[in-house]
Structures are given as C-alpha cells and as structure tokens.
C-alpha cells in the first residue's frame, strides 16, 4: 500500500518570543502555542479545506508542512518522506503557494521570475514554464514587468510558480482572497482540475462556499487545534462552523 | 551550477532595470578620484617618509585603499541586504521551500554584487591610470587577484554572521558596521598604519583588512608576488579557513532558530 500524500502526527508548535534581553539575562522567553496536537492523513487526490478565524494557526500549519517552520512536537511525512530528516526530498514533492504578491521580483518580467524559481528547482525554464503558462493562461503576460500586473494576474503567477515542478502536494494559503468573483472562480476551477489530475491540495480559505465546493474533507482550526467537520442536511456548513468556533475557541490572540 | 546561474541572472536583470544606478556609482568613483588626486598634489612626493614603502606617492596609495574599502563594504553588507530583502518580501521563504541548499542561497545571492565590486576595483585603477597618471606598470596581476580573493574570503564570513543576526533579531549585527569603521580607521585606507600610535598598530594587526590592503598595495604598486607577501597572505588564509566554516555553521543555526521562532518572514 502506498504512503499517504501527507501524514501529520501529533504536531504542535510553540513560538517563543525571543528578544536580546532573554539572551543577556538567561531568562526563558514567554511565548504562544500556535498549534496543539494536530494529526491527520490525506490520500493522493484529496482536497482538505481548512477554515478558521484569523490567528487560529492555519498559516502556521501550512508553513510547517512546507518545511518553513520546525515543529516543537510531532512529525510530518510527505509521501513517506520525513520533512525534518529528509527535507530536500519532501520539498521536491510539494508546491507552496503563498498568495503574497510581494514575493516576486517586481522589475523582472513574469517569465524572468518563473525562470529564476524554475532553476531553483533544478529545471530548465524553457520546458518548465510553457505547460503552466498554458494551464493558467499566462502567455500574454510573460514578457511584462511583474509590478505592472493586476492582483488577479499576480495570483495566477503565484499558482504557476508553485506548480512549475509538477508537485504532488499543493499548499495554498487563501488563494482567492482579494480576487474579483470571476478571477476567484477561475482559481477554483483550476483547483478542481488539479483534483482530477490526482494532486493533493491543502487549501486554507475563509470562504465557506469555496470550501464546501472544493473540499473532499473540511476542517476548522480553532486556537491551534484542528477539528474535522462534516456538514449534514440537519446542519449547514455555516452553522457547523459557527458552532465549532464558539465551542472550541477562536484565535490565539 | 544552474542554481548559481539563476541568482546571477536575476541580479543582472534587476540591475538592468535601473540602468542609472551603476552610472551614478561609477560617477561617484570619478568624483572620489578627483578629490584624492588633488589631495595627492597637496602631499608632494617624498613629503612623508611613511609613504616610502608605497613608492612615495599619496594618490596610488589612497586609490587602492578606497577601492578595497568599497570591496570590503560589499563583503560585509551584501549577504545581510539580500537576506533582508528576502525577509521583507517573502522571497526567502519561497527559496527555502525549494530544494536549494542554504550555502547555495548565501553564496549565490552575493555573486553578482562581488563581480560588480571586483569590476569597480578595476574601474578605480583604470580611471586612475587614464586620467590621473596612476602607474600600473609594475602591478603583479596574479598577486593582486589572489589578494582580492583572500580579502573576500576573510571578510565574507563577517557578513554571513551579520545575516544570521538579522534572521533572529530582525536587525543585522552592529558589529559589522563598527567593523567597517574600524577597518577604515585602523586598516590604513587614508594613511599608512605606521602613522598610528604603537598600541593602535598592534590592534590593526587583528583586522583582516590591514593585511588585505597591505598585500594589495605591495602587489599593485611595488609588483611584489605572493612569495614575498606570504605573511599577509597567510594571515588572510588562516582567518578565512577559521571564519568561513564557523560563519556558515552559525548561519545554518540561525535559519533553524528562525524556523523555530517563526521569524523567517518577520521584520
């Protein structure tokens, strides 16, 4: 039997608020638990949509899986590869989509930006860029400077960058935020197509309808804990979400 | 090599987007040369016995000091600047999410800036030779190149350590800034180290810049080879051999701490 696309086991994250005075006085810094004992498994081709109030730990979870944070406790496996022990192997199989339009080089063109990140994945830009540019309809924009794009086009470049190396697992942090309804719909259609291609997606979103439409599985993050939820005919997603947040607590502060 | 090339192309294209920036920088070199040329006229040849080991002229002496000081500044600040930009914009996280090693990111991020800094040293010498009768006839090219490389290897670790501080405390190490000032004062950019009181001369021995500049001046002005300059070369080699692995280990530790503290994208 093949390994799950993602296996998260007993994952906790504590952020110490370290300052220079702590080093000088040997005092233990105070901090905050951003995640507490999160555990789940996702099979290839599944989409997990994570909802939750701001500051509840959703982005922390995404960054832990993307190897950008080190867990305080617990382990993460991507297709069987431990992200702490073998991070390079794990990174080859994951695409991190930040939805941060500043994380590009503004004076460079879209092509030049994608070429830089393609080379960091060890790819030849001439073969890596055209397929994602076709998929995301980016061809007309490739030669323009990045800072001249609209938010929607920048978001498409963000998606393209995360997909250059054809990863099995995509981590998306609010990919439709700040997009107009048509652009947001296009992103949702793309995510739907990714599922058809057998890609696994972890999608953080604040849009309940989007989560319900795309998610094979739904979860709510509250105060660093992940609660898997299943809407029923008796209780809508909105009611279930509200109840979960009220019962389990909201943000960490 | 493809990844190293990626950084070089990125930085070249970035520079190409702002074509006036290098022009202003090179214009600055000319203005500095003009200023120190006339200061050199003021200090007539042979006026100071301190300049005798450097051919007796002030202008070639100070030109090499200025050129290496700007090279040192790049070594001390370029890694921090690159990491700082990456933290501000989020590009550092994206790079770290790719299968690219830390050392590749660190060294490749500064490759273009060092190429430009080396080119600017050539510009100092070329402008000096064309417009101000700076004589390069005796220059020992292999020794000059060797001292530039050693200067880079001895100073870059300090820049890497500063970038490590930046990752954890969101501010670069103030030691680097102080180090730049001390180097200018004690390393002999504007005047020979021998002018300083004895205790300051002793202090200047512990600054890598002193040895790099002494080697560079002797190679360019007096045409000395590496064998004749083995003392400054050996000091720089030892500093580089000790500091480079230490600085890389510190930087790797700083990245791990940043991943623990969540400060990779905080500023």
Say yes or no for a CB contact (<8 Å) between B94 and A161: yes
- Flag whether B266 is in a domain: no
Count of pairs with CB atoms under 8 A, one residue in A, one in B? 94
Q: What's the rounded mean pLDDT across residues B121-150?
A: 88
Q: List CB contacts (< 8 A) between A72 and chain B.
A: 260
Residue A53 to residue A34: CA distance in whole angstroms: 13
- Flag whether B267 is in a domain: no
Close Cβ partners of B135 (under 8 Å, ≥ 6 residues apart):
B60, B129
Q: List CB contacts (< 8 A) between A120 and chain B.
A: 3, 6, 95, 98-100
Shortest CA distance from B93: residue in chain A:
A68
Q: List CB contacts (< 8 A) between B91 and chain A.
A: 103-105
Shortest CA distance from B13: residue in chain A:
A108
Residue B95 to residue A121: CA distance in whole angstroms: 9
Are B50 and B207 a contacting pair, CB within 8 Å? no
Smallest Cβ–Cβ distance between B259 and the set A68, A108, A112 belongs to A68
CA B113 to mean position of chain CA atoms: 10
Q: What is the pLDDT of residues B54-112, one digit of tens each?
A: 888 888 899 999 999 988 888 888 888 898 899 889 999 999 999 998 889 988 988 99
Burial class of A83 by CB neighbour count within 10 A (0 to 12, 13 to 18, 19+): buried
Q: What is the pLDDT of residues A49-65, one digit of tens each?
A: 999 999 899 999 999 99
Residue B85 to residue B103: CA distance in whole angstroms: 17
Indicate left, alpha or beta for A52 from its phi (over 0: left) and psi (-120 to 50: alpha): left
- Flag whether B78 is in a domain: yes
Q: How close, in Å, is residue B144 to chain A by CA atoms?
A: 34
* DSSP per-residue letters across chain B: -HHHHHHHHHHHHHHHHSTHHHHHHHHHHHHHHHHHHHHHHHS-TTS-GGGGGGTT-HHHHHHHHHHHHHHHHHHHHHHHHHHHHHHHHSHHHHHHTSS--HHHHHHHHHHHHHHHHHHHHHHHHHHHHHHH----TT--HHHHHHHHHHHHHHHHHHHHHHHHHHHHHSS--HHHHHHHHHHHHHTTSSS-GGGS-HHHHHHHHT-HHHHHHHHHHHHHHS---TTTTHHHHHHHHHHHHHHHHHHHHHHHHHHHHHHHHT-TT--
Are A201 and A162 a contacting pair, CB within 8 Å? no
Residue B239 to residue B75: CA distance in whole angstroms: 14
The DSSP letter of residue A10 is E
Tell me, yes or no, if B32 comes closer than 8 A to chain A by beta carbon.
no
- Flag whether B115 is in a domain: yes
In a mutagenesis test of the A interface, which of B4, B8, B10 is the best target, namely the one with the most A β-carbons within 10 Å? B10
What DSSP element (H or E) covers A117?
A: helix A110-120
Residue A103 to residue A184: CA distance in whole angstroms: 20
Complex prediction ipTM:
0.89
**Among all chains, which residue has been given the structure tokens 């090693």?**
B101
Structural domains of chain B, count: 1
Q: What is the extent of the structural domain holding B142?
A: 2-261
Q: What is the pLDDT tens value at each position of chain A, 253 positions in all?
A: 678 999 999 999 998 876 666 667 777 777 889 999 999 999 999 999 999 999 899 999 999 999 999 999 999 999 999 999 999 999 999 999 988 889 999 999 999 999 999 999 999 999 999 999 999 999 999 999 999 999 999 999 999 999 999 999 999 999 998 888 888 998 999 999 998 888 999 999 999 999 999 999 999 999 899 998 887 778 888 888 888 888 877 655 4
Domains located in chain A, CATH noted = 45-68+90-247 (3.40.50.300)
Q: What is the pLDDT of residue A67?
A: 94
């Amino acid at each position: 039997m093949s390994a799950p696309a993602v296996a998260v086991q007993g994952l906790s994250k504590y952020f110490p608020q370290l300052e220079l005075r702590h080093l000088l006085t040997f005092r233990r810094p105070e901090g905050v638990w951003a995640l507490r004992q999160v555990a789940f498994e996702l099979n290839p081709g599944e989409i997990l949509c994570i909802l939750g109030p701001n500051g509840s730990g959703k982005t922390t979870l995404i960054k832990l899986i993307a190897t950008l944070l080190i867990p305080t406790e617990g382990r993460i496996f991507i297709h069987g590869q431990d992200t702490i022990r073998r991070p390079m192997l794990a990174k080859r199989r994951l695409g991190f989509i930040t939805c941060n339009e500043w994380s590009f080089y503004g004076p460079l063109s879209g092509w030049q930006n994608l070429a830089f990140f393609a080379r960091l994945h060890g790819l030849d830009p001439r073969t890596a860029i055209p397929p994602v540019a076709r998929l995301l309809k980016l061809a007309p924009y490739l030669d323009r400077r990045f800072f001249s794009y609209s938010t929607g086009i920048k978001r498409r470049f963000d998606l393209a960058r995360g997909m250059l190396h054809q990863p099995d697992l995509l981590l998306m942090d609010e990919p439709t935020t700040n997009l107009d309804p048509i652009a947001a719909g296009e992103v949702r259609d793309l995510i739907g197509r990714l599922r058809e291609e057998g890609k696994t997606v972890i999608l953080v979103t604040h849009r309940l309808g989007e989560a319900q439409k795309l998610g094979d599985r739904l979860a709510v993050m509250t105060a660093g804990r992940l609660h898997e939820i299943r809407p029923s005919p008796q209780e809508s997603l909105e009611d279930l979400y509200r109840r979960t947040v009220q019962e389990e607590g909201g943000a960490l502060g | 090599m493809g990844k190293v090339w990626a950084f070089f192309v990125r930085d070249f294209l970035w520079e190409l987007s702002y074509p006036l920036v290098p022009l202003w920088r090179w214009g600055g070199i000319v203005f500095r040369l003009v200023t120190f040329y006339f200061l050199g006229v003021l200090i007539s040849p042979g006026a100071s016995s301190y300049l005798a080991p450097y051919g007796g002229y002030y202008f070639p002496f100070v030109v090499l000091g200025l050129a290496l000081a700007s090279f040192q500044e790049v070594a001390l600040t370029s890694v921090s600047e690159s990491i700082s930009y990456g933290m501000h914009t989020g590009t550092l996280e994206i790079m770290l999410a790719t299968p690219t090693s830390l050392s590749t990111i660190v060294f490749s991020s500064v490759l273009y800036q060092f190429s430009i800094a080396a080119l600017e040293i050539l510009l100092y010498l070329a402008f000096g030779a064309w417009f101000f009768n700076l004589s390069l006839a005796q220059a020992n090219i292999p020794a000059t190149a060797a001292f530039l490389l050693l200067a880079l290897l001895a100073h870059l670790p300090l820049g890497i350590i500063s970038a490590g501080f930046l990752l954890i405390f969101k501010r670069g190490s103030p030691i680097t800034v102080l180090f730049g000032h001390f180097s200018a004062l004690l390393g002999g950019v504007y005047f020979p180290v021998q002018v300083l009181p004895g205790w300051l001369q002793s202090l200047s021995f512990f600054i890598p810049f002193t040895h790099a500049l002494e080697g560079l001046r002797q190679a360019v002005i007096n045409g000395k080879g590496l064998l004749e300059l083995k003392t400054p070369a050996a000091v720089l080699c030892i500093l580089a051999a000790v500091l480079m692995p230490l600085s890389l280990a510190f930087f790797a530790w700083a990245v791990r701490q940043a991943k623990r503290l969540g400060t990779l994208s905080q500023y």
